[in-house]
Amino acid sequence: MQGEAAGSLRGLSADTRLIALVGFAHGVSHFFHLLLPPLFPWLMPEFDLGFAQAGVLMAVFSVCSGIGQVLAGFLVDRVGPHRVLLGGIGCFVLASVVLALADRHLMLFAAAALAGSGNSVFHPADFSILNQRVSVARLGQAFSVHGLAGNLGWAAAPLMLASLATLAGWRWAALGAGALAALAWLVLWRARELSTHAAVSDATAVREGTAPLGFLRVGVIWLCFLFFVLVTAAFAALQHFGTPLLHAMYELSVPAAAAALTAFLIGGGAGIIAGGMLVARGVAQELLIGVALAVAAAVALVLASGVVPAWGVVPLLVAMGIACGVPGPARDLLVRRTTLERCGQRSYGRVYGFVYAGVDVGVALSPLAFGLLMGASRFAAVFGGVALLQVFAIAVTVGVARSAPGAARVSA
């Protein structure tokens, strides 16, 4: 009995350390999503950039991240996630140094490309580690911490970079980001347990997805990819345009609108935590995703109506943020289940890399579509479009459930 208890405690300690290490790495990757945008007030006059050119810089980041994510998945499956993670963080260090030394437009684009390439490795590497090394019973909490750490990275980047740029200049801010990446590299380099592969068996995988590119012939994996495109496009619409949208539609002051958007993002973090707890209790993944997205879509439609008083906007956005965050852990477990059933454990890297490339597609397409609506002053249509995307995501979830039979619980 004592031996079993001691073994359980050792397992918990090992899981906790792995989850913390991977969460820290994911937080750093999200920090580098925002390496450039907080510095645009300094970079744009320095390099005579317009908003269109600034947008192209971010497009370069997204393209490199999306294409690199698919390629990184194969690399993770071939050489292991630890070395790939170190390579990605090394790209962040280089991106920071190139940005700090930039004296022409080309160097800004090089920094964006390096940052996007570095970002590309994290989802396939992170999920490969978590799925292979963390106890199945704790995967819900692991995915919850992973998602929350990413949100914290987003929150930290504008504060740190803008503060450093104000105090010492934008070049020192870039070097500060590089110092953070260098610290992360050292921490993960010393984490030798990340370089040890757990033994895996593909006995549970069906024949169709076990070849190197076999997963591309599995329809349910394309549905997972589409799900990521839809939910990310909906989220990015509010992340990019939330402040001007609320200012224009509900006549909130710009600071109040920004605070409301922050409340939405905080709600998203709370939802991720709640979602991890719910899947750990065995709530069916598809049911959890469907109900949460239905709530989010309903709130978006209420906001689209324009009948909400100004004081009611923040509570509704918090509720919507929670509803958007709850599906995160269940979504990642659903991808895990699909991978096991169709491709096997040795395909974690390439499958997660491919479906998470949908995030970059959603981020790239969302500003184009919703920017047109904002430019035409069709503010209610923005909220309506968000709701429509979430309804489509529910339909895709139903398709995944029908295409990938199996238990919809953490024990799957």
Domains of the chain (ranges; CATH) run 11-194 (1.20.1250.20), 207-403 (1.20.1250.20)
DSSP string computed for 11-22: HHHHHHHHHHHH
Q: Which of 65-79, 209-223, 270-284 has the lowest mean pLDDT?
A: 209-223
Confidence (pLDDT) at 346: 75
pLDDT band at 1 (very low <50, low <70, confident <90, very high): very low
Place of tokens 């803008």: 162
pLDDT band at 374 (very low <50, low <70, confident <90, very high): confident
In sequence order, the 6+-apart residues with CB closer than 8 A to the CB of 286 are 330, 334, 397, 398, 400, 401, 408
Give percent of the chain above pLDDT 70: 90
Q: Residue 407 and residue 412: Cα distance in Å, rounded?
A: 5
> To the nearest whole number, what is the mean pLDDT of the chain?
85
Confidence (pLDDT) at 405: 53
The SS3 of residue 33 is: helix
Higher-pLDDT residue of 202, 75: 75
In sequence order, the 6+-apart residues with CB closer than 8 A to the CB of 20 are 145
Higher-pLDDT residue of 200, 309: 309
Q: Residue 338 and residue 218: Cα distance in Å, rounded?
A: 10
pLDDT digits (tens, 9 = 90+) for 224-244: 999 999 999 999 888 888 888
pLDDT band at 205 (very low <50, low <70, confident <90, very high): very low
Most distant CA pair in the chain: distance in Å? 70
Half-sphere exposure of 366 (CA within 13 A, CB side): 28
Confidence (pLDDT) at 366: 85
pLDDT band at 86 (very low <50, low <70, confident <90, very high): very high
pLDDT band at 409 (very low <50, low <70, confident <90, very high): very low
Confidence (pLDDT) at 408: 40
Place of tokens 């570095």: 118
CA distances from 119 to 74, 123, 387 (A): 15, 8, 29
pLDDT digits (tens, 9 = 90+) for 313-362: 999 999 999 999 999 888 888 888 888 777 777 778 888 888 988 988 99
Confidence (pLDDT) at 196: 53
Higher-pLDDT residue of 215, 113: 113
DSSP H or E run through 266: helix 254-280
Give percent of the chain above pLDDT 90: 40
Confidence (pLDDT) at 257: 86
Q: Residue 21 and residue 355: Cα distance in Å, rounded?
A: 23
Q: Which of 366, 87, 79 is nearest to 233 (CA)?
A: 366
Confidence (pLDDT) at 10: 52
Q: Residue 325 and residue 201: Cα distance in Å, rounded?
A: 32
**Phi, psi angles (nearest 5°) of residue 169:** 110, 160
Confidence (pLDDT) at 11: 55
Confidence (pLDDT) at 318: 94
Q: Give the pTM.
A: 0.81
In contact, 285 and 329? CB cutoff 8 Å:
no
pLDDT band at 397 (very low <50, low <70, confident <90, very high): very high
Indicate if the pLDDT at residue 106 is higher than 90: yes
